Amino acid sequence: MSLLYYIALTQVVGIGSITTRKLLKLYEKPENIFNEKKSSLLKIPLITYKVLDSLKSKEILIKAEKEIKFTQKYDIDVITIDNDNYPYRLKQIPDAPLVIYVKGDIDLNPLKSIAVVGTRKATEYGKDITKKIVKGLKSSSAHIVSGLAYGIDSVSHKSALENNLLTVAVLGHGLDIIYPDRNRDLAKLIIEKGGALITEYCSETNPDRENFPKRNRIIAGLSDAIVVVEANMKGGALITAELAFSYSRDVFAVPGRAIDTYSQGCNWLIKTNKAGLISSAEDIFYGMNWDLPDQKKEKKQKELLLSDDEEVLYKLIQQHGNPTMDFIYNQSGYSLNKTATILLNMELMGVIKSLPGKMFGVK
229: burial class by Cβ within 10 Å (0-12, 13-18, 19+)?
buried
| CA distance linking residue 160 with residue 152, whole number of Å | 12
Average pLDDT over residues 277-304: 76
Q: State the pLDDT at residue 298.
A: 53
- Looking at residue 22, its amino acid is K
DSSP character at residue 324: B
Q: Give the domain ranges of the chain.
A: 1-66, 113-288, 293-362
Contact 9, 63 (CB under 8 A): no
Q: What DSSP element (H or E) covers 157?
A: helix 152-162
User: Cα 250 to chain center, whole Å?
Assistant: 13
CB atoms within 10 A of CB 284: 23
Residues facing 114 on adjacent strands = 144, 225
Q: State the pLDDT at residue 171.
A: 98
β strands within 133-230, DSSP E:
143-146, 167-170, 196-199, 225-229
Per residue in 78-116, pLDDT (tens digit) is 999 999 999 999 999 999 999 999 999 999 999 999 999
Residues in the chain: 363
- The CATH code that applies to domain 113-288 is 3.40.50.450
Contact 230, 269 (CB under 8 A): no
Structurally, what CATH architecture does the domain formed by 293-362 represent? Orthogonal Bundle (1.10)
Share of residues in the chain with pLDDT > 70 (%): 96
Q: State the pLDDT at residue 179.
A: 96
